[in-house]
Every structure is written in structure tokens, then in C-alpha cells.
Amino acid sequence: MKNFFSETTFLKGVIKYSSLPHDEGYEFLLAGRSNAGKSSALNSLTSNSKLARTSKMPGRTQEINLFQVNEEIKLLDLPGYGFSKSGKQKQKDWNKFLQEYFECRRSLCAVIIFMDIRHPLKTLDMQLIDLCECYQIPFIVVLTKIDKLTKHKQKQAQDFVEMAINDCPIVTISSTKNLGIEKLREIILKYADE
């Protein structure tokens, strides 16, 4: 299968809703805790190890970074929540952005929520899920770093998430081993087709 994501390019970084490009095409919001492996997953998704900066210090991303996959599909990479580098004012700004984005953005197809499989469904994850449900925005849960657990522990964690939240796709991935990445691509493209 052709990797539609391999020609993804960085579009721009924004800090407020009014700076977003025209509301057209298909957009996917990428969100997750600062140490959930979101940047690594984005690099694996696009087969470009330099696209999103990864860091041993969580919370480096301070803007909402936009990436153009093709003419129609864009990815919006939200700063990791729970990040230590941003103060309360920044976090209030992100909350304001999210509220406006969820209320107004017609091109938003789904929110992709990245969670470390060893620590899923933390308070901030659940708050984002509640927000998606409140605005009736579809969401996809991506459990990262599966290479850090045995198959048995992976299944336990996945079962735990499936029991806690209903009717949402759950994908398990490892960016370092390139596991589950193709499935994630397929799900994103399916949402863009609907």
C-alpha cells in the first residue's frame, strides 16, 4: 500500500485559532501527554525521522504545529498536555484554542489521542475524551511504546482501555519497532473518506 503520508511537510506553527489556514479538507488533531511518544509516532507515520522534533525533555513543543499530508489532509500537532515548560497562562490559551477549534472547525475529522500503554487514561486524557464526546468529535486512541511491555501486559492494558471507553478505534503501536503504524495510517485515511 502506498504511504500517503511520506510526503508530509511542515506548514507552520500557530498559537491562536485565527492563524489557522482556511477551514477546508480533512484535519486530524494529534494530542497526548508530553511523554506519550506523539512526536516519534508522527515521524513513524510519515516515514520522516526529522519531521517532528523529539526530545528527552517533554514539553518542548510550544506551538500548534501544522503538517500538510497532501492537498486535502492536514495534521495539527498540539503541544503535549501536562507539559512543564508552559505556565498556566499558556495552558489557558490552549484550552481556549481547543474550545474554539471544536466548536467551529468543520474540517476536523477526528482527534488522535496518544497514550503511553504503560500509563493510559490519566486525568488529562479523560478530560480530552470528555471534550470530544461533548462536541461529538470522533477520536482514536493510540497506545504507544508497546515494545516496552510483554504481549500479556499489552493485552491487559488494551482491555483496560476498551472497558473504560466505548466505540472508538484503539491502535497499539511502537515507533521504534514500526509496529501498528500501517494500521494507524489506514484508520486516518478511512476517516478522511467518510
**pLDDT tier, 191 (very low <50, low <70, confident <90, very high otherwise):** very high
Neighbours of 172 (CB within 10 A): 21
**pLDDT tier, 46 (very low <50, low <70, confident <90, very high otherwise):** very high
Q: Which of 19-23, 31-35, 92-96, 100-104 is predicted with the least confidence, judged by mean pLDDT?
A: 92-96
Grid coordinates of 189: 485515511
pLDDT at 4: 84
Grid coordinates of 163: 472497558
Does domain 9-193 sit in CATH 3.40.50.10490?
A: no
| Angle of CA points 121, 126, 128, to nearest 5° | 125
pLDDT at 84: 44
- pTM (2 d.p.): 0.92
Nearest to 78 by CA among 48, 119, 34, 124: 34
Question: pLDDT tens for residues 154-163?
Answer: 999 999 999 9
Share of the chain above pLDDT 70, in %: 89
Give the distance, in angstroms, between the CA of residue 95 and the centroid of all CA atoms in the same chain. 16
Integer Cα distance of 22 and 29 in angstroms = 15
